[in-house]
Amino acid sequence: MFIMKPGIIKILIPVIFFLSLASLLNGQKIPPDFIDPPREFSVMPFWFWNDTLKDEEIIRQIADFEANGVYGFVIHPRIGLPESIGWLSPAMIHFMHLAIREAARRKMHVVLYDEGMYPSGSSGGQVVARNPEHAARGLAKIDLKPGEEPRLAEGTKLITIIERPGVQRVAVIDQPSGGVIRGIHYIGEGTSEKLREHLPPAGDILNPDAVTSFIELVYERYSKEFGEWFGTTIIGIFTDEPDPLGRSSTRGVVAGNASLLPQINNILGYDIKPHLADLWYSDHPESLRRRADYHRAINICLEENYYRRLGEWCAHHGIALMGHPAGSMDIGTQRYFQIPGQDLVWRYVEPGPKALEGQHSTMAKCASSAMIHLGRRRNSNELYGAYGHNLTYGEMLWLAYWCFVRGHNLLIPHAFYYSVRGPRFDERPPDVGPNAEWWNNYKPFADACRRLNWINTDSRHVCEVAILAEATYLPDKTAKICYQNQLDFNYLELRHLREDARVDAEGVHIAGMLYRVVILDSLTHLPPESKPMLTQLAENGRLIAWKNYHRAELPRGVRVVNTPEELKMETDRLITPSLSLSPPSENIRYRHAIKDGDHYFLLFNEEGEPVNTKIDFTVKGTRQWLDPYTGKSVPSSAEAVLSFRPHELKLLRIITSAN
C-alpha cells in the first residue's frame, strides 16, 4: 500500500488550498468538466496517410498527438501512398488495425474515412471495376436539325426527342458522365514528367444497386475488420462531398439517368420527361421553374438512394455517419447524418465580407441548426483545407471561433500530414499539426477547443428566431442583418413545418426550441403543404418577409420589411434578445447556451477593429468570466464597459440563484 509521507502532505496542503481558492473566484466553483472535459470533445484532425507507412512511425505520431492535447483522428488514406499500399489492401488494413488498437490503448477515438480519396461513392474505383454499369451517369442533349435523327455513341441511351420553339429539336440522352475521383497514388513521382495522380472512375451514387456495392465494399468491410471497436474507439465513418457526376465530368452533362425518371415524377407529381430540354434552355415561360423542380427532385433522390442508406447502416451498427455533403447550403441531406457536418476550405470564409455574405457564410449554421432540429448531440466542420501555406496562427484561431460561435462542437482540422516529403508538402496545404510552426504550443489551443466543444454539446441553445430554408438553399441576406444586430437564429428547413414541428399562437415548436419570430427570405419554392403553417404564423404576427420576396406567394398578415432597421424593429416587437449592446456594434457575434443549469455566453469580435461597449444580459446571476485556454476564471473589471481586441473571444458563465 502506498503511504504518503508527512512532509509531502505539508507541501500539498497549501497547494490544494490555493487551487481551491482559485477555482472559487467570483464565489463559484468552476465545473470540473470545463477544466478537463472528456476526451470525446477533442479536435479530430484528418490524419493524411500520404507516404510509405511504418508501424513504429504510426505509433510515434499517435503518441505525439496525445502529448499535444489531440485525443482522436480521422484516418484519411491520401495521395502519396505507394502502390504497394492500395485502397483497402491487406497492407492498408494492417496499418488501420495498428492505429485503432493504439488509439484504444490510449483511450483516444477514431473516425474511418470511406473513400480513397474523394468524392465518396466509388471505393477507389472498385465499384466500377466490379460492375462497369455502375459508373456515374448523367443526362446530356444533342441538338438536331429538321428531320435529323440522333447518333448515339456506345453506352448512351435515348430518353426522348423534344420539339422546341420554331423548328428546333433536341434529343435528351443518358450517358456516362466521365467523372472521376481523386486517387491515393502519384504517377511519375521522382521523374522529370509532370506530376499526375491515379483518377479512378466515379460510382453512380444515384443508382441504388451501385450504392449497395459501395456499402458492401467499404462499410461491410469495415464492420468485418473493425466491428469490435464500433461505438467505443471508432465513433463514425466519414463520407466526403458525394457528387453524382464525379469530378471533371463531361461539360454540359446534368446529374441523373433514365432509370430515375419514375422516382423524379413521383416526387414532383408530374411527368418531367416532356420538359427535360429546360435543363439547358430557357425558351418557355416555365423553363426556370421546371429546371428548379428537376434539381430539387435529384437532390431528394440523392438523399434517398445514398445518404439514407449510409445513415441507416451506421445507425444499425452503432456508429455515426459523419462527413459532409458537397454544398455549403445542403441542409436537407443532414437529416441522414448522426453527426451533421460541413466543410470550410479554399478560403471560403475569412474576416470581412465573406464571413457574412454568400453561400459559404451559411455553412456553420447549416450543420448546427440541423443538429438541433434533428435531435443530434454533435455537429462538425472540416476546416483549414487548402487555406494555403500563408495561413497564420491568428487565422487558425479566428476560423475556430467563427465555427464555435455559430454552434459547432466538433472541429476536424484539415490536416495533420503523416509526411511532407516532396510534393506532399504542397498538396492542399497547410499542415496545421505536427509540421506547423505552432505545434510545440498546440496543446492550449486543443484544450480550448475541447472546452468550447463541451459547452456547445448537451446544452440548450437559447434562440427564438428562425430563418426558413430549403433543402439546398439557406438565405444569407437576413442572416447578415441578424448577426450584426445580435439576433441569434437557426435555419429551419421547410420540411420540418409539415413533418415534425408544431405551430401555434406562440410560434414554431420543434426539438425543445420555440421560435417566436420566423423570417421568410428569397426562397425559390414554397411547398403547398407548408402554406397552412405559414398562414397561421402570419395571422399571429410572427412571420416576417424580407423585401425581395415574391408578394404573390405571401400569406395574408405577413409583415414585410424593407430595411435592416425595420427587421430589427419587428423582431424586437416579438422577442427580448439575450443581450443588448450600448453603444451598438455590428462586429459582435454571440451564442447563448444553458448547460447543467448555468448560462454560457460566447462573445466574439469577428472584425479587425476593437470594440468597447456595455453589454446588458437578460439573465441575472453571478458572473464568472472563463478562459478556455487555461480552464480558469478571469478577473473581471469593475467597469461596466467591455473592451474587445480585434478577433477576441470572451466566455461568460452566469450562475443563477436557482442553481
* Three-state SS letters, 313-359: HHHHCCCEEEEECCCCCCCHHHHHCCCCEEEEECCCCCCCHHHCCCH
Beta-strand pair 543-546/517-520: parallel
In the listed set 403, 433, 458, which residue is the last one of a domain according to the structure? 458
- Whole-number pLDDT of residue 523: 87
In the listed set 432, 458, 484, which residue is the last one of a domain according to the structure? 458
Whether 250 maps to a domain, the answer reads no
On whether both 524 and 446 belong to a single domain, the answer is no
pLDDT at 26 over 80: no
On whether both 466 and 447 belong to a single domain, the answer is no
Whether 90 maps to a domain, the answer reads yes
On whether both 570 and 489 belong to a single domain, the answer is yes
| CA atoms lying within 13 Å on the CB side of residue 491 | 34
Selection from 420, 408, 380 nearest residue 236 by Cα:
380
pLDDT at 520 over 80: yes
pLDDT at 411 over 90: yes
Q: Is 443 helix (H, G, I), strand (E, B) or coil?
A: helix
pLDDT at 211 over 80: yes
What gap in Å lies between CA 128 and CA 136, rounded to an integer? Answer: 9
On whether both 605 and 549 belong to a single domain, the answer is no
What gap in Å lies between CA 246 and CA 201, rounded to an integer? Answer: 8
| CA atoms lying within 13 Å on the CB side of residue 205 | 34
- Whole-number pLDDT of residue 119: 98
pLDDT in tens, 70-107: 999 999 999 999 999 999 999 999 999 999 999 999 99
Average pLDDT over residues 225-235: 98
Whether 254 maps to a domain, the answer reads no
Neighbours of 179 (CB within 10 A): 26
- Whole-number pLDDT of residue 18: 40
CATH of the domain at 618: 2.60.40.1180
On whether both 391 and 509 belong to a single domain, the answer is no
For Cα atoms 46, 49, 55, give the angle at the middle one, nearest 5 degrees: 120
Give CA torsion, residues 512, 513, 516, 519, to 10 deg: -140
Whether 163 maps to a domain, the answer reads no
* More reliable by pLDDT, 235 or 16: 235
pLDDT in tens, 30-45: 999 999 999 999 999 9
In the listed set 458, 480, 512, which residue is the last one of a domain according to the structure? 458
Whether 276 maps to a domain, the answer reads no
What gap in Å lies between CA 509 and CA 511, rounded to an integer? Answer: 7
Selection from 116, 100, 65 nearest residue 319 by Cα:
100
**pTM for this entry:** 0.93
Cβ contacts of 184 within 8 Å, gap of 6 or more: 77, 78, 79, 80, 81, 86, 87, 116, 117, 124, 198
User: Beta strands of 346-459 (E only): which ranges?
Assistant: 380-385, 410-413, 416-417
Question: Which residue range forms the structural domain that includes residue 632?
Answer: 581-655
Cell of 381: 466542420
Whether 617 maps to a domain, the answer reads yes
Report CA torsion sign: 505, 511, 512, 513. Answer: negative
Work out the pLDDT band at 168, boundaries 50, 70, 90.
Answer: confident
Centroid of chain to Cα 607: 23
Peptide bond into 119 cis (omega under 30): yes
pLDDT in tens, 423-460: 999 999 999 999 999 999 999 999 999 999 999 999 99
pLDDT at 2 over 60: no
Count: domains in the chain? 3
pLDDT in tens, 637-654: 656 789 999 999 999 999
On whether both 519 and 636 belong to a single domain, the answer is no
Under 8 Å between Cβ of 601 and 579:
yes
- Whole-number pLDDT of residue 148: 87
Cell of 98: 495498428
On whether both 588 and 531 belong to a single domain, the answer is no
Selection from 437, 396, 392, 433 nearest residue 416 by Cα:
433
Report CA torsion sign: 189, 192, 197, 199. Answer: negative
Q: Is 101 helix (H, G, I), strand (E, B) or coil?
A: helix
CATH of the domain at 567: 3.40.50
Selection from 120, 90, 96 nearest residue 110 by Cα:
96
b/e code 552-580 from CB counts within 10 Å (16+ = b):
eebbeebbebeebebbbebbeebbebbbb
pLDDT at 496 over 80: yes
Under 8 Å between Cβ of 379 and 408:
yes
Whether 181 maps to a domain, the answer reads no
Under 8 Å between Cβ of 493 and 519:
no
What gap in Å lies between CA 238 and CA 382, rounded to an integer? Answer: 11
The single-letter DSSP state of residue 22 is H
What gap in Å lies between CA 570 and CA 567, rounded to an integer? Answer: 5
Work out the pLDDT band at 190, boundaries 50, 70, 90.
Answer: low
On whether both 447 and 429 belong to a single domain, the answer is yes
Average pLDDT over residues 300-323: 98
Whether 18 maps to a domain, the answer reads no
Task: Using the structure block, give the residue that is written with the C-alpha cell 441511351.
Answer: 157
Cβ contacts of 413 within 8 Å, gap of 6 or more: 43, 45, 46, 383, 384, 432, 433
Cβ contacts of 584 within 8 Å, gap of 6 or more: 485, 613
pLDDT at 597 over 60: yes
Residue 270 CA: distances (Å) to CA of 273, 464, 494, 631: 9, 38, 21, 59
Residue 459 CA: distances (Å) to CA of 89, 144, 453, 595: 42, 60, 11, 5
The backbone region for 385, taken as left when phi is positive above 0, alpha when psi lies in -120 to 50, beta otherwise, is beta
pLDDT at 16 over 60: no
Compute and round to an integer the Cα radius of gyration of the chain.
27
On whether both 543 and 595 belong to a single domain, the answer is no
* More reliable by pLDDT, 611 or 3: 611
What gap in Å lies between CA 438 and CA 578, rounded to an integer? Answer: 36
On whether both 603 and 528 belong to a single domain, the answer is no
In which element (H, E) is residue 16 found? helix 6-23
On whether both 55 and 101 belong to a single domain, the answer is yes
Give CA torsion, residues 584, 586, 589, 590, to 10 deg: 20
- Whole-number pLDDT of residue 5: 42
On whether both 333 and 393 belong to a single domain, the answer is yes
